[in-house]
Amino acid sequence: MRLIVITYFAICINRINAFVPWRPNTSDFDPNTLHSIEASSHAVRRHKLRIAHASAKFERRTGTGKLNAASFSPLTRREDKTSGPVDLYSDPNDISYWVNVDVGSSGKSFRLVVDTGSADTWIPSAECKSKSCLAHRTFGPDDSSTLHVTSDRTFAIAYASGNVEGYIAKDTLRFGSVTIDKMEFGLAKMVSDDFTNFPVDGILGLGFPSASILKVPTFIESLISHNVISKHIFGAYLHRTADNKNGGTITFGGIDASRIEGGVEALKYYDVNTTTSLWSIRMSDVVLDGQNANFQEGRNVIIDTGTALILIPPEDALKLHQFIPGTKSNGETFYIPCNTDISLQFQFGNDAYQLSGKDYVGDPIDAQKELCLSLIVGRSVVRDGAWLIGDVFLRNVYSVFDMENGKIGFGIPVPAVRASSTSMEAFPSSSSDAVSDTIKTALSPVSTFATDDGVILNLIVHTA
C-alpha cells in the first residue's frame, strides 16, 4: 500500500473581522456611491466571478435553473435562479489550490484544481482554439505517443456562459514517482473563454463516482485500481497566505496526523448524505460572538475544496450579517467594515469550529480600505437550500474525506510548517489510527520516502 502526500499551491484571500446585532441595509448611505464604488472595483468583479464559479457548478448538477450569462447582473438583486458569467476565474487576489500532474509519454505538466465538488478530471485538448485554451497548456497526440482518444465517447459540462466539451481520453498520469497508466479523463476540445484568466489548466475531481459526468473511473478509483492506495480516503489541510504560508497538503489513502492537534484520535466525524452524490453533511448552527444564529433544525452543507467562498440562501446570509455592525448589502453581495473582528463558529453536532476573520473578510472595495467584501454570499446554489462551504471555512480545519464509510472528519490544525521542511506520519491500509515513524526532511521539487507502512510522496509548494 502507498500513502501519497502532495503539497500544493494556494493563491490567497486575506483580511480581518467585529459584532453586535445589525440589519444590513442601504438606507443609511448614498446608494449611488456604493454602485459607483462597485462598478470601478476590480475586487468586486473578481468576487462576482468567484460566485459564478460555484453557483454554475452546483446549479448545473442539481437543476436549480438554466445557466444563462445574459441574466447575470453584478449590481442588482437576482430575482430568478439563473447563474452568473462563468464557472472558473482566478488571479493573485483570488484563491485556488492545485497540484502539478504530468501527463503522457512526454510528461507534459498541468496544473489541476483539487476539487471535492466535482468527480471528473479533465484538461484542454490541442484541438481547442478558444482564447482560454490558447492561454493554457493543451494536450494532444504530438505530446504523447501513448495517448488514446475515444472519439465516439463524448462529454459536455455546462457552465454559466458556455460549456466544456470534448472526448474521453486515456493516457499516463504521474505525481512524482507515482504513475497511473491508462487513466481515463476528459480531453476538452471546447472550453469557454471565461476560463482564460484562471491560473490552472483543468480539474482534478475528488467527488463521489456517482457524481461523474464523464462516467469513467475517478482519480481516487484509479489510485486504488493501480494499487497506489488501498482506501477511499484522503485528508486535506489548506494554508493561508495571510499567515505567510502558501499551499497545503493533501494525503491520499490515509491521514497526516502531524497536521492535527491531538492526532487522529482528536478527529470528529460526521455522516455524509450519500443520496446527494456530494460531500454533504449536517450543520447544527452558527454562533457569532457567543450568540446562536438559531438556524432551526440546522442546515445541510456541501464541503467543497474547489470553491473559494461560502454561498448560502439569501435569508440565511442576511441573518448572519445582522450580527456585524456597519454591514451594507446590495443584493447577494455584502460589504462589511475592513476592521471587522466577529467571532464566528460553525457547529456540527456538539462540536464547534472557529472561522478566522482572516478568511471571511475579503478585499477592500474603496481606496480608504474601510469597506471590504464579505466572503459569505447570499446565493442559493442547491435545490434544498443547502450551504456551499468552501475554502473560507476549510482553511480553519484539517479535513478528512472518507468515502468508504461515508464520513467527513474535522480536526483542529496545528500551525503550518515552513516550506523548507515538513513532518508527516503515514498510516497503513489496515488502520487509519496506526502511526509509522515520523519523517522529517527538506522539500525538494519531488521527493519520495519509503516507510514500513507505505510511501510518502512530496511535491514542491508552488507560490504565485
Catalytic residue numbers, as ranges: 115, 304
Distance between CA 316 and CA 38 in Å, rounded? 23
Dist. CA 365–CA 92, nearest whole Å: 16
Q: Give the type of residue at 354.
A: Q
Q: What are phi and psi of 31, to 5 degrees?
A: -65, -30
Phi then psi for residue 99, to 5 deg, are: -120, 155
Q: Measuring CA to CA, which residue among 179, 112, 181, 190 is closest to residue 147?
A: 181
In contact, 95 and 88? CB cutoff 8 Å? no
Sign of CA dihedral 182, 184, 189, 190: negative
- Which residue carries 482506501 as its cell? 231
What whole-number distance in Å separates Cα of residue 374 and Cα of residue 18? 12
Closest CA to 363 of 343, 333, 339, 338: 338
The gap between the terminal CA atoms of the chain, to the nearest Å, is 34
Grid cell 457547529 in the structure block, residue? 347
- Identify the residue whose cell numbers are 467527513: 408
Q: How far apart are CA 416 and CA 237, in angstroms?
A: 9
Question: By CB neighbour count within 10 A (0-12 exposed, 13-18 middle, 19+ buried), where does 162 fall?
Answer: buried
Pairing of strands 233-238, 248-252: antiparallel
C-alpha cell recorded at residue 383 = 435545490
